[in-house]
Each structure stands twice: as C-alpha cells, then as structure tokens.
Amino acid sequence: MLLIDDLTVRYRTPGGEIEALSSISLQVEKGSTVALVGESGSGKSTVALAAMGLLPQEASIPSGRILFDGQDIMMMNVEERRRLRGSRIGLIFQDPFSVLNPSLRIGDQVGEGLVHHRGFSTERAFARAIELLDEVGIVRPESVAKAYPHELSGGMRQRALIAGALASEPDLLILDEPTTALDVTIEAQILDLLEGLRRQRGMTMVFISHNLGVVRRISDEVAVLYAGQIIEQGRTEDVLQRPIHPYAKGLLAAIPRIGQKQGRLAAIPGRLPDLRNPPTGCRFARRCPFATPDSDKPQILRKLGDRQVRCTNAEALREAPWPRPGESEQFAEVVRSPHAGPVVAVEHLTKTFGRHAGFAFKWRRLATSTEIKPVNDISIEVAAGEVLGLVGESGSGKTTLGLSILRLVEPDSGTIRIAGEMVSGKAQRALESMRRSAQIVFQNPDSSLNPRKTIGELLARPIERFRLAPSGEIPARVRQLLDLVRLPAHYADRYAHQMSGGEKQRVGIARALATEPRFIVCDEPVSALDVSVQAAIVNLLADLRDRLGVAYLFISHDISVVAHIADRVAVMHHGKMVEIGRADEVMNAPKHPYTMKLLSAVPRIDGPAPRSVGERHGQVA
C-alpha cells in the first residue's frame, strides 16, 4: 500500500542544514498498522509530512521515492497529489486544539472533504458529517456538528478530526501522535475507537508516537527511529519484549512500569548527535554501553530472522540486558530527618476560581464564568523524607493544590502547616522561613530559568537572599549544588539556552535545593522530557531524597512515574481527593472506581499482550 524507499529529507535552518531523515525505507502492507517510534529529533513526524507531500518550504528531498499503491507521490504534480490527499490518504495531527479552524462549524469541517473529492452538495456533506460523528462515538452528533471547535473538549475534537479523516473513506490513515495531547482515559477511548475502525474497515495505518505503550496496543509492526535513521524494526511484541539494538533496549529499560517497583530506572546518558553533521558510523555509539571499535564504521540495517537491526554486533547483543544502576548503590542507608511528625500538614484546603473579586471595572469581560473548585476540601500530610505522589488528569486541580500549599496561589480556606509553622493566614511578607524550608520544581524547563542570567547567578541568588553563606563562599556553594545534580562546575557560566531540557531541569532542581529545603513540590517535573532523560531526572530526585531526607509532593499525570517514585499516592478528580494510600496498594488494589478506570487506561509495555494484536501479519521491509 505504502512503500518508502531510501528517503532522505533535509531542512535548511539558520544554523545550517539538518538531515532529518537519512535513507528511510519502510513498507506498509494493506490492512496492517505500522508504528514509527522515536524521541524528539528522531524525525518521525517528518515521515508523515513527506508521505502527504506537505513538507514545509525549508525542506528538501535529495533522494528517495514514496510509492502509494505503486505510484510515486513525488513524481506527481501538485493537483494529482492534492486529489490523493484526503480522498485516499487521511492524516490526523497531534494537537486537536490547533488543527481545527476556529471559525468554521465542526460539521462543515468534517464534511468538506466530501464536497471537494466526491462532489457532494454542502447539505448532503453536512448530513454525512453527522453520521460520521455518530460513528466515532460522539453523543448528540447533530448539535456537535453545529458547534464551533472552542466549544468542544480535546477528546471530542480528536474524534471530530478522525471523523473528518474518515469521511472520504481513505485507504491509508497516517496518525501523527494522535493521543499525545489527551488525558489517559480519553487516550484509551480514542485507541479503542481506532482499533474498532481498523477491524471494521480493514484500514491501513501508519501510527507515529513516542509512547511505546500506545504503540503496543495499536500496531502490528514497529520501526524505532533514532537521529533520522531506523535502528530496529520488526513485529511489535518482539521488539518491545526482546529489543536487540542497544538504543531500543535503553529506551525500554528507561520506562517505569506499574506494579514492578525498581530501585532506580535505567537511563541513557548523553544526547542526540548534531544532525547538521551526523557521524558516519553508528549514530548511537557515543551513548552506547556496548559500543565497539566497529561502531565507527557505517552501519546498515541487517536482517535477523523477521527483524532488522542497524548494528554490527546485533547477534552478540541479542540477549544482553541494558545495564541497570544498582539498588541505591551509593547510599545504603536512607537518611531520615530527625524531626518527628509530618513536615507538611494540610487540612480542609479549598480554592475557588471564577469569582469576581477586587475592582468593579470589568467592561471587557464578556461572560461571567461559573464557579469552579479546583481544590475542594483536601487534607494531606507528608512525612519527612517521604514522597507523596499526586496523580490526576488535566483540570483535576493537582497543580493548584501544589501552588496553594506554598501560598503561590492564595487558598480560600483551610490550614497549612509546613515544618511545624502555621503558614495559612499569614501575610506574604511573614512567610520568609517557610519560603526557605519549602521549595518548588516546575514543569517547563524553558520557562523556569530566567534566560538573561547565568546558571551561577541563578543558583547564587537563593543563597544570597536567605544569607545562607558569606559572599566569599557562594561560588563554592554553587559548585556543590551543580555537583549534587551531577552537572559539571563550568556550567555555572552558561545560560539556559545553551543547555538541553534535561540539564535545565537539573538546574531547576539545584535552585530548589539551594535553600536547603525540607519539602519540595515537584510540579510535573519530567512531563516535558523524553523518556530516556525522564529516567535520569527521576533517579536524581530519588537519590536526593535518600541523601538529604527532603520530602516531595510529586505531581504528575503519568501514573507509571508516580508509581515508581512515590511512597504513597493520592488520586485527584475534579478537585476532590478520591483515594490515598501506599503506592503499591493503590496500584495493585485500587479501591475507588476512578482510580481503577485511570489504571486500566494506562497503555503498558509489559503484562499480557493487549487484545487486538494477533493474526494479521503486516510486513515491514
């Protein structure tokens, strides 16, 4: 159905030309689903755009063919390619929030392909759109068809987009991270929908994702991309359970698994090679624990049974496991804080949004919003040196709770005690000692560091602010902090933009540690990071807890990560805490129906094979 042969794509950027894809070859059989998997920078999304003939102007294609049903897409003229798109090939994008036109009704957007490809009248297309919306599981499709995108939730929008892609009954569907922007429970629904469609319509799909759990549920074949090359491909279950290429091994080892508590996660050191000038040999060699002198030679995809692997040592590595860090290798004994009692105690905390407080001049306000309670009567305690995990989907109020505890958002009612000090009810000015003992690590490494200051200045400031060291000793303290988060001392002279996402997050952690806090709110600290980097940061946080006895409120939407690091887990839903308990108990024997729903929605990379993968054998060449 789709055959990509020796495809190379380059992008012109201000910094030089980047090779986004290097000689990619891929074959998708009719009726099969092939997944492309990789972290950021692997080039996986470029494949989708190239196959649709939608590459941006900066892109050039020095070599390769893309055959759809035997016809070369790149040899077609613009008009022929346009007719192919949307009628025989459908594309579904990652972010359902920006790919729907804000000023057109949903029904028009779903049906418009029919008007232009099938010659439907507008009315007939709209009527068909309603049927399609019904088919993708939207309740009350008539009213949704008449709605505008901003009135719909993310899951509904993604369903509408799928309906739009299905409208002209394409033979091939390309899905670029279709569930990444969605909550897990919504993601599970969308995956169910896609599986159903595939069964009923015998649809061929190319599924692009960074999430191996999702891929495992949906695809027959998987191709793992690294730095613009396919490094391993084969049947999904084989590759995921018994990876051969070192990168695939590392990637899988870095993923935390629910119900299988390990001491530390495996992490992949280093970073992507410079794609302006990629190494001629193995592109992974510099990060590879199995690298040999042979790795410097150009690597080709080699066949190993029904698998293909881009590694000269593939046979030898077949059974070798990715090296795992030892169980708390450095600190056998966990240092617990000598203080008795909880370091944080919160009682009946409530925060309401949507009230019109303050000045009465609200001319510009268009609609009075209704009251919502993102934090509704929450009581929690965190013991010294304990990690309390807080999970919930977007809008559950978990971040608001974290910020309210630190008085970065003013709660409406309830009491907060931090390190024995009553924090609620005090004026902001009087919170100095609390600000020292309680700190925060943020989600977004690009936003959390002031871009105009060096890392040294950033880390020195808290020490100056609380006069924790005489000014002569500050540089030494900064070096200690950098060492604590395993960054070299010369990073003190760098600016944030000169570092990678993981490194920036380490600086964020070091800054929080600078005041020698006893409690840190970690607000989605690894959500913006790739899996391999995420593992290293999670390990670091765990080590620091053991070494310094600091307690965390670890907020995340990713249950697997929370399950891995937390001692206890609290689950939030619509501002309420529905369950709290020991991590293993909550994960293995959840009591609240919402927790059960949440846990069953998580796509896993281990455990019994998901239901749909089975008899069909697509072939990947």
Partner 1 sequence: MPASTPRSGSVAMSVDQITEAPVIEAAPRRPMSLQLKVGLVITGSIVLLGLLAPWIAPHPWDTISMRTRFVPPNATYWFGTDEYGRDVLSRLLMGTRLSLAMGVSATLVSLAVGIPMGLAAGYFRGWVDEVLMRLADVFMAIPPIMLGLLVLAVTPPALWKTALAVGFVYIPPIARLARSVTLTLANEEFIQAAKARAETNSYILFREILPNAWPPLIVEASLRVTYAILLGSALSFLGLGAQPPSSDWGLMISEARAFIDRAPWIALAPGFAMCLLVIGINLLGDGARERLDPRLKSRVTER
Partner 2 sequence: MTGYIARRLLFVVLVLVAVSMLVFSITALLPANVAHLILGPFAPPEQVRALELKLGLTDPIWLQYVRWAGGFLSGNLGESTLMNRPIGPLLMEAIGRSMMLTGASFVLIAVIGIGLGIIAALRHGGPLDHGISVGTYLGIAVPEFFWAIIVIIVVAAWLGWLPASGYEPLSAGFTVWAKHLIAPTMTLVFGHLAHVSRLTRSSMIEVLQSPYVTAARAKGLPERVVVMHHALRNALLPTITVLALDFGRLMGGIVVVETIFAYPGLGRLIVFSIQNRDLPTLQAAILVVAAIYALANLLADLLYARFNPKIRFGRNVG
Q: Does 151 bind partner 1 (CB under 8 A)?
A: no
Query: Which of these segments, 245-253, 279-287, 444-452, 585-593, binds partner 1 (CB under 8 A)?
Result: 444-452
Indicate the SS3 state at residue 228.
coil
Kind plus residue range of the DSSP H or E element containing 344: strand 342-353
Is 333 exposed, middle or buried, given 0-12, 13-18 or 19+ CB atoms closer than 10 A? exposed
CB atoms within 10 A of CB 376: 18
Nearer to partner 2, 364 or 611 (CB): 364
Q: Does 392 bind partner 1 (CB under 8 A)?
A: no
275 binds, among partner 1, partner 2, none (CB under 5 to 8 A by kind): partner 1
Residues of this chain, 105-164, that bind partner 2 according to CB under 8 A = 112-113, 116-117, 148, 150-151, 161, 164
Tell me the closest approach of the beta carbon of residue 1 to partner 2, in angstroms. 17
Residues of this chain, 456-495, that bind partner 1 according to CB under 8 A = 461-462, 465-466
Of 200, 363, 451, 608, which one interacts with partner 2 (CB under 8 A)? 363
- The DSSP symbol for 284 reads T
Nearer to partner 2, 76 or 474 (CB): 76
369 binds, among partner 2, partner 1, none (CB under 5 to 8 A by kind): partner 2
Of 406, 526, 533, 536, which one interacts with partner 1 (CB under 8 A)? 406
Residues of this chain, 72-111, that bind partner 1 according to CB under 8 A = 93-95, 97-99, 102
Q: Does 130 bind partner 1 (CB under 8 A)?
A: no
Q: Which of 544, 551, 491, 570 is nearest to 337 (CA)?
A: 551
CA-CA distances (angstroms) from residue 111 to 100, 141, 216, 555?
13, 13, 32, 41
Q: How far apart are CA 581 and CA 588, in angstroms?
A: 11
- For 153, residues 6+ apart whose C-beta sits below 8 A from its C-beta are none
- For 589, residues 6+ apart whose C-beta sits below 8 A from its C-beta are none
Query: Which of these segments, 64-72, 401-409, 567-575, 602-610, binds partner 1 (CB under 8 A)?
Result: 401-409
Query: Which of these segments, 114-122, 245-253, 303-311, 449-457, binds partner 1 (CB under 8 A)?
Result: 449-457
Pair of tokens at residue 595? 């927790």
Is 242 exposed, middle or buried, given 0-12, 13-18 or 19+ CB atoms closer than 10 A? middle
Indicate the SS3 state at residue 132.
helix
Indicate the SS3 state at residue 339.
coil
Q: Does 367 bind partner 2 (CB under 8 A)?
A: yes
Q: Does 427 bind partner 1 (CB under 8 A)?
A: no
Tell me the closest approach of the beta carbon of residue 13 to partner 2, in angstroms. 16
Alpha helices in 205-343 (DSSP H): 212-218, 236-241, 246-253, 314-317
Nearer to partner 1, 306 or 464 (CB): 464
Residue 245 · residue 232 · CB < 8 Å: yes
Residue 60 · residue 246 · CB < 8 Å: no
Tell me the closest approach of the beta carbon of residue 270 to partner 1, in angstroms. 11
Number of residues that bind partner 1 (CB under 8 A): 66
Q: Which of 243, 242, 219, 213 is nearest to 231 (CA)?
A: 243
Residue 226 · residue 38 · CB < 8 Å: yes
Of 62, 119, 123, 452, which one interacts with partner 1 (CB under 8 A)? 452
Q: How far apart are CA 354 and CA 293, in angstroms?
A: 63
Tell me the closest approach of the beta carbon of residue 529 to partner 1, in angstroms. 12
Indicate the SS3 state at residue 124.
helix
15 binds, among partner 2, partner 1, none (CB under 5 to 8 A by kind): partner 1
Strand partners, 347: 415
Nearer to partner 2, 78 or 427 (CB): 78
Nearer to partner 1, 160 or 580 (CB): 160
Pair of tokens at residue 25? 């070859």
Tell me the backbone φ, ψ of residue 525, rounded to 5 degrees: -70, -20
Tell me the backbone φ, ψ of residue 383, rounded to 5 degrees: -80, 160
Query: Which of these segments, 3-11, 100-108, 217-225, 597-605, binds partner 2 (CB under 8 A)?
Result: 100-108
Q: Does 226 bind partner 1 (CB under 8 A)?
A: no
Number of residues that bind partner 2 (CB under 8 A): 34
Q: Does 56 bind partner 1 (CB under 8 A)?
A: yes
43 binds, among partner 2, partner 1, none (CB under 5 to 8 A by kind): partner 1
Strand partners, 308: 233, 303
Query: Which of these segments, 41-49, 139-147, 155-163, 236-244, binds partner 1 (CB under 8 A)?
Result: 41-49
Indicate the SS3 state at residue 408.
coil
Contact positions vs partner 2 (CB under 8 A): 52, 54, 82-87, 90-91, 93, 95, 98-104, 112-113, 116-117, 148, 150-151, 161, 164-165, 363, 365-367, 369
Contact positions vs partner 1 (CB under 8 A): 11, 13-16, 18, 20, 40-41, 43, 45-46, 49, 54, 56, 58, 93-95, 97-99, 102, 176-177, 271-276, 358-359, 361, 403, 406, 408, 428, 431-432, 435-436, 438-440, 442-444, 447-452, 461-462, 465-466, 497-501, 508, 511, 515
